[in-house]
Structure formats: structure tokens, C-alpha cells
Chains A and B, each alone.
Chain A
Amino acid sequence: MSSRRSRSRQSSSSRITEEQINDLVSKLQSLLPEARIRSNDRVSAAKVLQETCNYIRGLHREVDDLSERLSELLATTDMSSAQAAIIRSLLM
């Protein structure tokens, strides 16, 4: 592979080794929900990245849904009594 060549060319600026990447990728993998179910077999970096993309897209959707829900609630709820309730629950 040409990796040796690339590494020497990069040595002055940023020596990013495969090991470092794999390290970070496995750390990322541990944040994904499925990682807790799956065994500790090495999953390819590309797969982890793909699953991370999917996971983030899912999180974005959840935030969107919650935003929509909050929008509707804001429009219909009397905020003052609701606010008192929230502040109380937050301080508990």
C-alpha cells in the first residue's frame, strides 16, 4: 500500500496513524446503541461511520419531533401554570 509514502510526507504536519483512527473509531462505536449488544469483534471503520450517520439522523428526527410537539404545546397551553410546574420539576 502507499500508506508508508503518505505517512512520511505527512510526518512534518500531522502524523495520523491507522491506529489512532481505529482507536477513535472504536471509541465512537462504543457510543452507538447497538455496540452494547454486539460483541467486541472489530467492525470495519466504514461500517461504524455509516451507523454513526444513521444514528445521528435518528437523533435529529427525534429532536425535530420534540420541537414540533413543543411548538404545538406552546400554542395551546397556558404557559404560566405550565412554567411553574416545569420549574418545580426541574428544581426537584
Chain B
Amino acid sequence: MAIPNSENGDSAAMVRGGRKRKRRDAAPEPGHRSFSTWRTESIEKRYSSKLLEALRRIRNDAAEPRGNGAVRDAADRALAVAARGRSRWSRAILSRRAIKLRAVRRRRQRGMGELPRSLPHPIERRRRRRRSELVQKKAEELGRLVPGCRKVSLPALLEETSDYIAALEMQIRAMSVIADAVSTAGGSSVGLPDRSGSPSTG
């Protein structure tokens, strides 16, 4: 699998003002190292153990089965934690629950029927229409898919998306390994999956 040259990201950072290049670790620039970071063994292991802890908690706490919303939630939160606050999408995921609780509480206080509204920014839209309208539409669609990126500039959106995609692919790899391991172990303790994730026959 070809790993894209990081030079593209560097030139973009340089044009943006060079400042961010010096403080790589502190600066929120996910796009830079997205491909390589999310592919290391260590991050996948870290993610897997976090997820396992969460799964154990779900299993132990649930008096009644919770439905797979809990697992999906846990998987996403663990993924956001693995991002270490360096990306907008991860921060958005971590604040999801807080926002939902706040909204539920507010709705209860004011009575049902009051939904949170998000108004589009008409001024932003007018400026962006100078870029192709189709590109803008597609960018909005993409912004709805990446957490926390609905009103983000196009370059930032593209950076977040690169990082988000790499993270999702890692999430899928890790969850597949866990699912295979659990299903294999559930049947018999012999025949553990090897590190590549494929269960051995039996």
C-alpha cells in the first residue's frame, strides 16, 4: 500500500504561515501524519485495550441487554481518545455525550417539543459560492459525515477527513480482531487468531 508523501501536507502548512510546522506535536494538524500514525501497532493496541475495558464495563453493568448503541458509542469514544485531542472530529465525538445530556436536561426543564436548532451562516455561504457550487454542496455533504465539521473551511475539512478516514480504518481493523478473538474464544480456547487478525481454522 503506497503511503502518500507528507510533503504535500508540509507545503500546505508552509503557505498557511509556517508557524504550525515548528510545534508539530502541540498544534492541531491532523492531516500531516494521519496515514502513518493510525497504522502503527502501538496505537491499534492502545485502542484495542481501551475498547476492551469499555466492553467489559458494558457487559458487567448491563442488567438487561442495552442494544448495540452502547458498543458503537464505546468504540467511537475510544477512537476519539486515541486521537489525543489533535483533531476536530475527535473532540466533537468526546463532547457528543455532554451535548446530548445538556439537550435532554434542557428539554425536560422547558417541556418537550423544543428541539435544538442550528442555523446556517448566510454570509459564509455567499462567500463560498465563488468556489464551484457543486464542490460546495459536496463539501457540505462531507462535513455532515465527519463529526464536528459542518461549518469548517474547506482546507480544514479535507485535513480532518484524511485523519478521520485513517482512524476509521484502524477502528475497523481493531474491532475485527476483537470480534474474531471473542467469537473464536467463545467456541474453544484453542485456535487463537494470530496478529494479522485472521482466525486459525478450528
Could you list which residues of chain A lie within 8 angstroms of chain B, going by C-beta atoms? 1-3, 6, 10, 14-17, 20-21, 23-28, 30-31, 36, 45-46, 49-50, 52-53, 55-57, 59-60, 62-64, 66-79, 81-90, 92
Contact = CB atoms under 8 A, between A and B. Distances in A.
What's the dominant secondary structure at chain A's contact region? helix
Interface in B27-70: 31, 35, 45, 48-49, 52, 55-56, 58-59, 65-68, 70
B142 A53 contact: yes
Interface of B: 1-2, 4, 8-9, 11-12, 15, 31, 35, 45, 48-49, 52, 55-56, 58-59, 65-68, 70-72, 75-76, 127, 130-132, 134-135, 138-139, 141-142, 145-146, 153-155, 158-159, 161-162, 164-166, 168-169, 171-172, 175-179, 181-186, 189, 192-195
Contact of B161 (A6, A52, A63, A71): A52
B4 A27 contact: yes
B70 A27 contact: no
A25 B12 CA distance: 12
7 contacts: A16-B154, A31-B35, A52-B161, A53-B145, A59-B165, A60-B145, A79-B56
